[in-house]
Copies of this chain bind each other. A is one copy, B any other.
């Protein structure tokens, strides 16, 4: 365990002494903004710092400066590719700004989310990004809003991903329009009877995608029957189970199923296969998100592409740019939605000829 006497890390004070200069000079050359330090001293400080292996204490800097270099990210589930892709984007962009990202997972529990926001606030992060999927029936809705408002009042920047709520900055994801476009595309392929695999009523994202899909069908004069909407957890297993239930009930003419996200859609594929049917042929499948794995399942999945990583980058940008240009009208005024795109693959080859 790398033994050796336990020494405390070198402080700025140590560096100053070692270099024979004042604390202020050391601070200026090491962390000060505009360089105004004699080259002579400058190099001496730098050398001393290197010799002592000095690393500035970020906490102390934060206290002194009254501002941290941290951004907090809240997701529902880190292992879910939807969130991990967004996280990758946030981290990549934060890196450019030399910001540190702290991450927490709500597990889709509103109470936990509130707790986490409270805890994370203690960090005084510059930005707080909420990508955790919100619910419509949130009992903690009021407290959360209040918490976020307080955080903003204290100079923090909140960015919501996907849902436009609370009058806060938002990276808008037009779930309705995307789902509607998908519906249109499927109808164009020749499908007429649909089922939807979705999550519990509470989840906004799921609800919006279902609504959009329904609208898209309606525009083509097709009605989605309530009986043909099955529900499960917002996970792979949830998709598997809901689809299994659908198959057991009997397809009754349903030609294609839309799973409100790719993770569920992938579960649907397996459920279909495990039921002895051939996905795509016996029942077409479409998803939403275009996560990486959908290219590699069989058949490759038709879906709505969402630039996940870009969304993460954009979320951070939104908060940062807005902070720079404070005084301007808030950029949330015109939150153009992130563009989505229907990607047709082999899981929806068109209805089989009878």
Q: Which residues of A contact B (CB under 8 A)?
A: 1-2, 4-9, 53, 55-60, 62-63, 66, 68, 70, 77-79, 81, 84-85, 87-88, 91-92, 95, 98, 100-105, 118-124, 147-150, 152-155, 158, 166-169, 236, 266-267, 269-270, 273, 292-293, 295-298, 309, 322, 330, 332
Whether the pair A118, B79 counts as a contact (CB closer than 8 A) is no
Whether the pair B293, A124 counts as a contact (CB closer than 8 A) is no
Q: List 26 A-B contacts (CB under 8 A).
A: A1-B152, A1-B167, A2-B158, A4-B153, A5-B153, A6-B155, A9-B121, A55-B118, A57-B122, A58-B59, A58-B122, A58-B123, A59-B60, A78-B87, A79-B84, A79-B88, A84-B87, A92-B105, A95-B104, A102-B102, A236-B292, A266-B293, A267-B296, A273-B298, A293-B296, A296-B297
Distance of A335 Cα from B246 Cα, bound (Å): 48
List of B residues within 8 angstroms of A298 by Cβ: 273, 297-298
A340 to chain B, nearest CB (A): 19
Query: Given B7, B147, B330, which contacts A154 in the complex, CB threshold below 8 Å?
Result: B7
Known interface pairs A6-B155, A100-B119; 6 further A-B residue pairs with C-beta atoms within 8 A, sorted by A's residue number: A9-B150, A78-B87, A79-B87, A84-B84, A102-B102, A236-B292
Distance of A227 Cα from B105 Cα, bound (Å): 46
Distance of A121 Cα from B122 Cα, bound (Å): 20
Residue of B whose beta carbon sits closest to that of A9: B154
Distance of A266 Cα from B300 Cα, bound (Å): 12
Q: Which of A63, A295, A322, A332 has the most CB of B within 10 A?
A: A63
Q: Which of A58, A63, A309 has the most CB of B within 10 A?
A: A58
Whether the pair A148, B2 counts as a contact (CB closer than 8 A) is yes
Whether the pair A236, B296 counts as a contact (CB closer than 8 A) is yes
A169 to chain B, nearest CB (A): 7
Distance of A155 Cα from B3 Cα, bound (Å): 10
Whether the pair B68, A59 counts as a contact (CB closer than 8 A) is yes
Distance of A188 Cα from B104 Cα, bound (Å): 44
A159 to chain B, nearest CB (A): 11
Q: Which of A5, A104, A120, A153 has the most CB of B within 10 A?
A: A153
- Known: A63-B60, A84-B78. Is A167-B2 also a contact (CB below 8 A)? yes
